[in-house]
Amino acid sequence: MGNVNESASQQFEGIIDNGAENFAVDLLSNPAEEIIPEDSDSDDETSQNDDDQDDINLEGKDEDDNDDDDQDEGSDTSAEDDDQDDGDTDSQKKSDDDDQYSARVLKRINKISAKRKAAEATVTQQQEEITSLNERLVALEGKKDLNKKPDVEDYDTEEEFEEAKVDWKVNKKLAEQAKIDNEAKLNIEYSKVETKIQGHMEKGAKKYKDFAGTVQDLSLKRSLLPEINDLKNASDVIYYLGKNSDVADNLNDYVASNQTIKAGKLLQKISSSIKGKKFTRPPKPIRPIKPKGGGLKDMEAMSNAEYRKMRHKQAKTKRW
């Protein structure tokens, strides 16, 4: 038996493929009797075909595995794509929200910016106006006497000097014309008042025999005449001022110092103080008085002192 096995080993020694160990193991596992040497070539071909088929199957399996892997990878890729789509959707939604939020914020920012710019423009305009007023104030302060003829030394340029000189000439002409017009208007008004004052004096002359002599030296400022004319007892006030020259002087001083209110109050006070008094003519004597010179003197020609002296003598004579 040992020889038979050895012979079988020698027979199969040439067909064992060292590169296909599994195939050789399968052949060695079969009984020696069933092996037919004549068909060894066919078996080799079959074995080779099977081997090739196995290789094909293995390759096919590998391809199937690769296809499965590709499919799995495709699935994974699809899943990733789905996840990416979901991510893109969420990102797009977030982006839309951000855009909407950004639009609201941008609108608010623009509104605040517009208000701020408007406020800044207002402040700038006010600052410009203040600057302009300050410049005009400085210019006016630099020209202390507007009636003074411009001096070339006071101006930076010849053009400014010429412009100031023209303005000075125009202002001077306007001031002169305004003064003339004002004086003419005042003269008309004072003429009307003086006419009325003349009427009051005529009335006073009828009330007071010495009125003409009393007011002969009376001098009053023209601006006092309208105030006196408005008084109801103007003739009595004029007579009073003729009798009290110091009061008349005070009135003139008030007017000269532009204290017309004080002058008006003083005239009202004088008017009120003499309203209750009644001025009458001196009574006629019972009999004529013989003067030292031997001639009679008309009582109308007597002075106040002479009249008082006469009345005093009459009183003494009456007692005895």
Closest residue by Cα to residue 279 from 228, 306, 239 = 239
Q: Token match 């914020």: residue? A: 105
Q: What pLDDT sits at residue 107?
A: 83
Lowest mean pLDDT among 24-28, 147-151, 245-249, 298-302: 24-28
Task: Measure the CA–CA gap between 250 and 230, rounded to whole angstroms.
Answer: 19
Mean of the pLDDT values across residues 12-26? Answer: 43
13-27, 31-45, 183-197: which has the highest mean pLDDT?
183-197
Confidence of residue 208 (pLDDT cuts 50, 70, 90): very high
SS (H, E, C) the chain: CHHHHHHHHHHHCCCCCCCCHHHHHHHHCCCCCCCCHHHHHHHHHHHHHHHHHHHHHHHHHHHHHHHHHHHHHHHHHHHHHHHHHHHHHHHHHHHHHHHHHHHHHHHHHHHHHHHHHHHHHHHHHHHHHHHHHHHHHHHHHHCCCCCCCCCHHHCCCHHHHHHHHHHHHHHHHHHHHHHHHHHHHHHHHHHHHHHHHHHHHHHHHHHCCCHHHHCCCCCCCHHHHHHHHCCCCHHHHHHHHHHCHHHHHHHHHHHHCCCHHHHHHHHHHHHHHCCCCCCCCCCCCCCCCCCCCCCCCCHHHCCHHHHHHHHHHHHHHHHC
CA distances from 69 to 58, 64, 73 (A): 15, 8, 6
Lowest mean pLDDT among 42-46, 105-109, 234-238: 42-46
Confidence of residue 20 (pLDDT cuts 50, 70, 90): very low
Mean of the pLDDT values across residues 181-189? Answer: 86
Confidence of residue 320 (pLDDT cuts 50, 70, 90): very low
Number of neighbours of residue 41 by Cβ within 10 angstroms? 10
Q: Token match 């893109």: residue? A: 88
149: left (phi over 0), alpha (psi -120 to 50) or beta: beta
Q: What pLDDT sits at residue 25?
A: 37
Closest residue by Cα to residue 229 from 258, 280, 271 = 271
CB 228 within 8 A of CB 267: yes
Residue 7 above 80 pLDDT? no
Number of neighbours of residue 193 by Cβ within 10 angstroms? 19
The domains of the chain are located at 2-95, 155-281, 284-320
Q: What pLDDT sits at residue 81?
A: 53
Residue 3 above 90 pLDDT? no
Provide the CA 311 distance to its chain's centre, in angstroms: 84
Note the pLDDT tens digit of each residue in 272-307: 998 655 555 545 554 544 545 444 455 556 666 776
Note the pLDDT tens digit of each residue in 101-111: 678 888 888 88
Q: pLDDT averaged over the chain? A: 70
CB 282 within 8 A of CB 307: yes
Q: Calculate what percentage of the chain has a pLDDT beyond 90.
A: 18
Task: Measure the CA–CA gap between 289 and 307, rounded to whole angstroms.
Answer: 11
Number of neighbours of residue 274 by Cβ within 10 angstroms? 14
Note the pLDDT tens digit of each residue in 70-127: 555 445 555 555 555 555 555 565 566 556 667 888 888 888 888 888 888 888 887 7
Residue 140 above 70 pLDDT? no
Q: What pLDDT sits at residue 109?
A: 87
CB 308 within 8 A of CB 270: no
The amino acid that residue 238 corresponds to is I
Q: What is the dihedral of CA 265, 271, 276, 278, to 10 degrees?
A: 160
Residue 191 above 80 pLDDT? yes
